[in-house]
Structure 1
């Protein structure tokens, strides 16, 4: 018997790859979630996190920390400067600085905003005026009725003041005009002194105490 022959096999059938799947569209980006009022308050108008009770939050924490440190250093420097100024003022006061301790020099009397010096020794009007100039003052210029009443309390020795006749009129030594209706003057002399109740003019060579005045220290 002849052996059975197997049927001839042809080349294997080629399989076609499956058709490509249809391209799917990329998913649309999700819409941003609306922030709650609490988040808006926490982040502020620029979207940056604010400082919380336990520290700094967000990507700008190092900037906030730097600003806070700079502010603290600046405040510390100001405090040190103020302390140094107080120490200097205390030292000056302890050394007897007149302008630091009192508005008037020693032996001067304060009234209102002026300092007054009442001399003890008698001199003529011009000598008294020169003495006042050496103390950066002038013979007293009376500018109000209250000031005149103050002068009356310290005029037992009838001192010179800064009022003198020039021609037919009286003028204060600072150049201000004199109002005779406000302060009437008795006498026919040239230079004026103060009695306990009035102003009197006499010869400038007469000797009597004098009163200097100047603005108080501020």
Structure 2
């Protein structure tokens, strides 16, 4: 009839191929969407498993949690200095930035910091009355690590933690805890 137009669906093998392609596009879009969601969930689960405790996991971490030139790991931002200073001067610098020398809380953090450090930096561990304490006041858990050396201030090295004189100059690192 004049004025009424209806689309003509072509018949034949090309029509079947085009119809199949169209339905396949929606199928593959659905598959791609499911894969994207699964990838995000896997990353979130991996982050949750790698967190030091369940209370640390509050969703996937943002990539912008740390300032430029800082590293993020287990809800902490880590700053690695390029300058060298004594243990006390290093801790004072960290304090000025609302941080402290590194306090290692678990084996994952120990492994992470050993991998990212280059030249035996100071950490927040010191000897008092023949026992080692972290800068936050907690006593060293000997199950976590053993300190080699006879000094009073600890530093991280490729094979663990050692202690030397506090007045020696070393690079240092400090983490900032995220709330």
Range into which the TM-score falls when normalised by the shorter chain:
0.5 to 0.7
1:143 and 2:105 equivalent? yes
1:127 and 2:112 equivalent? no
Aligned to 2:31: none
**What is the SS of the residue equivalent to 1:116?**
strand
CA deviations 1:187-209 (Å, max 9, x no partner) are 00000000011100000000000
**TM-score normalised by structure 1 residue count:** 0.52
Return the structure number with greater relative CO, CA threshold 8 A, min gap 6.
Answer: 2
Structure 1 runs, 4 residues or longer, greater than 3 Å off: none
Aligned to 1:110: 72
**What is the SS of the residue equivalent to 1:161?**
strand
Note the aligned Cα RMSD (angstroms).
1.5
Aligned pair count reads: 118
Q: Which has the higher helix share?
A: 2
1:169 and 2:169 equivalent? no
CA deviations 1:29-64 (Å, max 9, x no partner) are xxxxxxxxxxxxxxxxxxxxxxxxxxxxxxxxxxxx
* C-alpha separation in 2, matches of 1:195 and 1:101: 28
Cα drift, residue 106 of structure 1: 2.1
Aligned to 1:38: none
**TM-score normalised by structure 2 residue count:** 0.63
Cα drift, residue 112 of structure 1: 1.2
* C-alpha separation in 1, matches of 2:63 and 2:143: 40
Instruction: Pick the structure with greater CA Rg.
Output: 1
Taking a change above 3 Å as real, the CA distance of residues 152 and 101 of structure 1, as seen in their structure-2 partners, is closer
Q: Tell me, which stretches of 5 or more residues in structure 2 are unaligned?
A: 1-61
Cα drift, residue 145 of structure 1: 0.5
CA deviations 1:106-137 (Å, max 9, x no partner) are 22110110010000111100110011011110
* C-alpha separation in 2, matches of 1:195 and 1:111: 19
1:215 and 2:177 equivalent? yes
